[in-house]
Amino acid sequence: MNEFILELQDINSEDLAFLLFRHILLGSSFDYQNKFYVKHNSLIESTYITENNKILEIDSKRRGLFSEKDKLIILEKNGSWTKEEEERYQERFKRITDLQISKKKLVIPAQIKQAQILFEQEMRDFSAFFIERDNVLGLTLESYVNTQTYQYYLKNFFFKDEALTERLFSDEDFEELPQYEIKKYYDYYFEFQEVFNSRNLKKITCCPFILNTFFLSKTPVDFFGKNISELTLNQISLYSNYLYYKNITESADFKPPPQECYNNLNKLVDYYDQQYSFISSKNNSKKR
Amino acid sequence: MNQDKWIYTFTLDKEVNVSKSETSKNDAGEEITITKTIKEKKPFIFKIKKPNRKIIDDGDIFYAAKVGEYLKAGLLSKSLISKRFENDGGDLSEDIKKQYTEAVNDYYNSQLELDKLKEKEGSSLSDEDKKQIDELTPKILELKNILTEFEIQRTSIYDQSAESKALNKQIFWYILALTHWNKGKENGDFEPYFVGKTFDERCDTYDKIEDEENNNEFFLSLTSKLAFAISYWFNSGNKATQKDIDDAQNSIG
Please report, for residues B9, B182, B210, B217, B223, the alpha-carbon distance to residue B226 in angstroms, rounded to integers and kept in the order given: 10, 16, 14, 14, 5
For residues A14 and B16, give the distance between their C-alpha atoms in angstroms, rounded to a whole number.
Answer: 79
pLDDT of residue B79: 85
- Return the DSSP state at B74: T
Least CB–CB distance from B61: residue in A60, A79, A80: A60
Which chain A residues have a beta carbon less than 8 Å from that of B57? 147-148, 179
* pLDDT the model gives residue A231: 93
- Note the pLDDT tens digit of each residue in B165-209: 999 999 999 999 999 998 877 778 899 999 999 999 999 999 999
Q: Does B220 touch chain A (CB under 8 A)?
A: no
Q: Which helix (H) or strand (E) holds A137?
A: helix A109-137
Q: What is the ipTM of this complex?
A: 0.73
Domain boundaries, chain A: 3-196, 198-287
Q: What's the rounded Cα separation, in Å, for the pair B172 and B176?
A: 6
**Which residues have CB under 8 Å from B181's CB, separation 6+?**
B44, B45, B46, B47, B190, B191, B193
Q: Closest partner residue to B64 among A65, A136, A173, by Cβ?
A: A65
Helix (H) or strand (E) run with residue B7 in it: strand B6-25
Q: What is the largest CA-CA distance in chain A?
A: 71
Residue B2: the pLDDT is 43
Find how far residue B152's CA is from the centre of its chain: 16
Which of the residue ranges B5-14, B89-98, B150-159 would you say has the lowest mean pLDDT? B89-98
Question: Coil, strand, or helix at residue A253?
Answer: coil
Q: How confident is the model at residue B40 (pLDDT cuts 50, 70, 90)?
A: confident
Question: How many CB contacts within 8 angstroms connect chain A with chain B?
Answer: 69
| Mean pLDDT on B35-40 | 86
Mean pLDDT (10-residue bins), chain A, 288 residues: 72 89 93 91 90 94 95 92 94 90 78 86 87 92 92 93 94 86 90 89 94 93 90 95 94 91 90 91 78
- Distance separating alpha carbons of residues B168 and B99, to the nearest angstrom: 30
Tell me the CA distances in angstroms from A123 to A90, A93, A158, B10, B157, one per residue in order. Answer: 14, 10, 32, 48, 32
| pLDDT above 90 as % of chain B | 39
- What distance in Å separates residue B122's CA from the closest CA in chain A? 42
Chain B nearest CA to A66, separation (Å): 7
User: CA separation (Å) from B76 to A78, A204, B12, B141?
Assistant: 7, 59, 39, 35
Note the residue count of chain A.
288
Q: Tell me the whole-structure pTM to 2 decimals.
A: 0.75
Burial of B22 (0-12, 13-18, 19+ CB in 10 A): exposed
Please name which of A262, A251, A258 lies closest in space to residue A210, comparing C-alpha atoms.
A262
SS3 A269: helix
Residue A145: CB partners within 8 Å, gap ≥ 6? A53, A56, A57, A60
Q: How close does chain B come to A2, measured CA to CA in Å?
A: 22
pLDDT digits (tens, 9 = 90+) for B91-131: 666 777 788 888 888 988 998 888 888 777 666 778 888 88
